[in-house]
Chains A and B, each alone.
Chain A
Amino acid sequence: MFAYISRRLAVSLIILLTVSFAVYVIFAFLPFDPAALTCGKNCNDPGIIEANRHRLGYDLPFFTQYFLFLKGLFFGRSFGEGAALINCPAPSLGYSFQEHACVTNLIGEALPVTFSLAIGAIVMWLALGIGLGILAARFRGRIVDQLSTIFVLIGTSLPTFLTGLLLMVFVVIRWHLIPFPSGNYTPFLENPFEWAQILFLPWLTLAFAYAALYTRFVRSSVIDTSNEDYIRTARAKGLSEGVILGKHTLRSALAPIATMAGLDFAGLLGGAILTESVFNLPGLGRLAISAVVKYDLPIIVATTLLAAFIVVVMNLIVDILYAYIDPRVRVA
């Protein structure tokens, strides 16, 4: 097991290096001059542009720039000199001259928002998707199953921005089921109740779409597993239907769900762009989108890299978890 994890860690590291390089190549060869962009819209003074270029290190050769970027990740980095010295401590992802802030700090503010959104949503959709999926499989062809099919159909066809707006219009404005989310995002540690109140609808929006997918997946996985020979063996032993489902069927049926949930969670952590936009949440998705609109290259590089990092790490966690669930994977 230890050898397995070490090997996977090494591979993950290589993947991350490759991704960071690829992202940096895109960054360096985009047809925009980052130095000119830092100078604002009406900046035509070549002197200022060149000074900026030097300050940011954009005048250095490509590989030196990439190396400095990597070095900044581990040792921090400073830009400019003298009175205009800006220091971004490790892990430094660069400096955004449009936001006038170290990118790491910007991400540090946005990540908790996205994390809060993702964690609540995944809890909701796993509970709903797995529960409904099992019920649909257990009572296949009956009313519960048919209702779940309708739910799946609606959930998979509605885009999240529409679900979000519909929830907003009906649940909040028309029916007053929950009060209008007042003001801005509140961190969990500051006021957990307000945190949950503001995030409830975004959670529901995301959970709705994912739960539909999971319901369908869990349903077919449970049905497939129920037809396995070893389930017949369990029944032949004289086990009760509850034990057969809970211990024998679900263990196998839900193993692939762990992989799916891990990767979906990673995808969301990279930024739930639509949901964050609809509900005005200052998360990673919104940070990335506004950076793209403004050609804020350091932020684009950083958010892309972060998303890749999260996916790679979640993959690793999922694989280790899977080896724990399925003993056949351990020896491989």
Chain B
Amino acid sequence: MTLLKVENLSVDFPTPDGLVAAVHETSFEVKRGETLAIVGESGSGKTVTNLALMGLIPARTANITGSAIFQSHDGPIDLLAIDRNELRKYRGKDIAMIFQDPMSSLHPFYTIGDQIIEAHQVHNKVDLKVSKARAIELLELVGIQGAATRIKSFPHQFSGGMRQRVMIAMSLVNNPSLLIADEPTTALDVTVQAQIIKLLEDLQIEFKMALILITHDMGVVAGAADRVNVMYAGRIVESANVKDLYANPLMPYTQGLLASVPRMDQPHTKRLTAIPGQPPSMIALPTGCSFNPRCSRKSEVSGSKCETLMPELTQRGDGHLARCFIGEGV
């Protein structure tokens, strides 16, 4: 069952220096209950894709085109076409989002209880007591000890990991069918990272919700994701089941990403390989394949095809898509 079907999503930001094509004709699907990981370097369009779906990019600052059909509680809606005011009914209810930095994502002047209760009250016409009970229930669920008293605490009285748990509790308060987690562990300690990811996995099963996990941690992807979209310079460059992707990465960028992760099954003396160069400027993308200036395998393609033509995202087997001339049409 497809929960979200995104087609040809493009997001352009007009700037004084030129048009920034942050996301370019991106299409993907999320099925009910599955975890889609979106990976890529900073500036590859991961976050912008999801902010666009949530309607959180100010309309005046960007040109957003394409469609995103979402199965909401009252039927399918197009997240990109629907009136912003109308979208509010679904935001925080059907689709919830948690952000990268839990230290700044909670309002410093309101208790966490107030903030969670508010999230419940917006979408439910119920007594405050009901919302309060719900807030306590969720805080307990995300592992906050003594939730009944802790709801009176302010965000600054929590650690980073605890704040992210509060954010998760707040996002789940209305039983969303889709949770977008934008680098939920980047700002946290490594030990806490694992706990938060485990918590998200457990809650995903309990709430039967789909999860879009934005990350640049390939280790997290391997453990948590069902499918993976690899993004580079605003485009999806590879998309596959997590097993296929790790077993058989097709795009040189994906191969580079995987080679740069330390692995337990490799001798510890082996040096990690880095992808040479920098991500391209989004204003002046290289002609041809955006990755070609950094690609170590472009000599395998005849002529100067990589420098002149943008490869298409093509099928390479069961549900495995890649955007590369290497192995195309084999």
Question: Quick one: which of A233, A235, A327 has the most chain B CB within 10 A?
Answer: A233
A326 touches B56 (CB 8 A): no
**A268-B223 Cα distance, complex, nearest whole Å:** 64
Residues of A within 8 A of B (CB): 228-230, 232-240, 248, 251-252, 255, 325-328
A327 touches B106 (CB 8 A): no
Whether A248 touches B107, Cβ cut-off 8 Å, given contacts A232-B99, A236-B92, A238-B88, is yes
**A326-B101 Cα distance, complex, nearest whole Å:** 21
**A232-B96 Cα distance, complex, nearest whole Å:** 12
Interface string of B78-90 (1 = CB under 8 A from A): 0000000100111
22 example contacts (A-B, Cβ-Cβ < 8 A) are as follows A229-B99, A229-B104, A229-B105, A230-B106, A232-B56, A233-B105, A233-B107, A233-B170, A236-B56, A236-B99, A237-B119, A238-B90, A238-B122, A240-B85, A240-B88, A248-B107, A251-B110, A255-B109, A325-B109, A326-B109, A327-B109, A327-B154
Closest to A141 in B: B60
Closest to B95 in A: A236
| Cβ distance B109 to chain A, nearest Cβ, rounded Å | 5
Contacting B91 at CB < 8 Å: which of A238, A252, A325, A327?
A238
A239 touches B118 (CB 8 A): yes
**A327-B156 Cα distance, complex, nearest whole Å:** 9
Write out the residue numbers on chain A whose beta carbons fall within 8 Å of the beta carbon of B90: 238
Contacting B97 at CB < 8 Å: which of A230, A236, A240?
A236
> What is the number of contacts between chain A and chain B, taking CB atoms within 8 Å?
69
Write out the residue numbers on chain B whose beta carbons fall within 8 Å of the beta carbon of A251: 107, 109-110
**Across the A-B interface, the 6 shortest Cβ-Cβ residue pairs:** A238-B92, A229-B104, A237-B92, A238-B91, A230-B107, A327-B154
B122 touches A230 (CB 8 A): no
Write out the residue numbers on chain A whose beta carbons fall within 8 Å of the beta carbon of B91: 235-238
Closest to A234 in B: B107
Interface string of B91-126 (1 = CB under 8 A from A): 111001101010011111110000000110011000
**A327-B154 Cα distance, complex, nearest whole Å:** 7
B212 close to A (CB within 8 Å): no
Whether A230 touches B92, Cβ cut-off 8 Å, given contacts A236-B54, A237-B170, A327-B156, is no
B96 touches A236 (CB 8 A): yes
B99 touches A233 (CB 8 A): yes
| Cβ distance A259 to chain B, nearest Cβ, rounded Å | 15
Write out the residue numbers on chain B whose beta carbons fall within 8 Å of the beta carbon of A235: 56, 91
| Cβ distance A60 to chain B, nearest Cβ, rounded Å | 55
Closest to A325 in B: B109
